[in-house]
Chain A
Amino acid sequence: MARAVDVISVLLLVAAAGAFAVGVSALGDRRDLDSLYWLVVGGLTLRAATDMLRPKGASR
């Protein structure tokens, strides 16, 4: 199960990279709302990827 969470974390990192690329690309295509949406999605995805590495209260 721990290994699966690691894989999910890496997949979320890849998804965040894709979302950021789409967001910046949308800015160039004059789709400002789309751009904002994908940049926010990228940020949330990245946050989720790193949050599941360090649960609060876990031994360090």
Chain B
Amino acid sequence: MTATSVERPVSLTARSNVLLPGLLAWISTVGVPAFERGAGAGTRILAGLALAAMVAGPLVSAAHPRAGRAVGIHATMVLCLMTWLALGPRISVLHLEPVRAAIGAVAWVFFAFGWGAVRAPGVPEDDPRAIPGAPLPARSQLPLGATVVFGVGLLGAVLALLVAWRAGRSSHALLAHSAAVVCAIALVVSAAKVAVDRQDWRPLTPATARLGAAVRPLTLLAIALILRFAWALVQ
């Protein structure tokens, strides 16, 4: 089997990973509203161009990776944004069809992941370019309880995302979900830092210096809590 015949299915898989979710996302969030009755011709042209860029990107990226990414990601997103701006109130929260919007949101996530790259399957040491020798040991280990700390952050993120579904008002529901996503990202990132950046595996810093580094947010936090307490007393 030649190298070209081995690479072709991988390339096709990579293209499918981008194209299939991309097409689903385009149909559910761009195509359907743009080609509904009443939408302008300019909007439809923009939507069509977005689709063309989305399909062209993965095809071009095989020969010209940089140009392919520019067309497949940046041009596609700019054209989709222009289509949404041209649609205006036709895609306001009140007009959204929730299931289609949810499918579109998930499809856009997979479209983004599809443009990423993962390690090729197989044992890395079997690669002919691998340097032979004893495996390199890790220079350090994770601090004690790192998995638990990260799990706490992950649970907090899931909790925020679940609580967002309690919002009943449509306009506030969108805000609640946006806030929940931001909170979830912040929690997961911070949990990862707290989990691995504790002082078990590098020269210790005096505890007072560590507390001193956090004095500004801690002071603001104390002021906020005192104000809240005072407000509760007044009421």
Contact = CB atoms under 8 A, between A and B. Distances in A.
Nearest to B186: A46
B204 A20 contact: no
B121 interface: no
A2 B223 CA distance: 26
Contacts of A21: 156, 159-160, 163
Given A10-B152, A41-B225, A53-B193, A48 B217 contact: yes
Interface string B181-200: 00100110011011001110
Q: Per DSSP, are chain A's interface residues mostly helix, strand or loop, or mixed?
A: helix
Nearest to B167: A28
B169 interface: yes
B195 to A, nearest CB: 9
Nearest to B161: A24
B176 A2 contact: no
Interface residues of B, number: 49
A17 B221 contact: no
Interface in A16-37: 16-18, 20-21, 23-25, 27-30, 32, 35, 37
A24 B216 CA distance: 25
B119 interface: no
A10 B194 contact: yes
Given A37-B228, A54-B213, A28 B156 contact: no
Contacts of A10: 149, 152, 194
Contacts of B175: 27
B85 interface: no
Interface of B: 149, 152-153, 155-157, 159-160, 163-164, 166-169, 172-173, 175-176, 179-180, 183, 186-187, 190-191, 193-194, 197-199, 202-205, 207, 209-214, 216-218, 220-221, 224-225, 228
The 5 closest A-B CB pairs, nearest first, are A17-B156, A28-B166, A28-B167, A55-B213, A51-B214
Interface of A: 1-2, 4-6, 9-10, 13-14, 16-18, 20-21, 23-25, 27-30, 32, 35, 37, 39-60
30 contacts: A2-B199, A16-B190, A18-B156, A20-B156, A20-B183, A23-B179, A23-B183, A24-B167, A24-B179, A24-B180, A24-B183, A27-B164, A28-B163, A28-B167, A28-B173, A29-B166, A37-B228, A41-B221, A45-B221, A47-B214, A48-B218, A49-B190, A49-B194, A51-B216, A52-B214, A53-B194, A55-B213, A58-B205, A58-B210, A59-B202
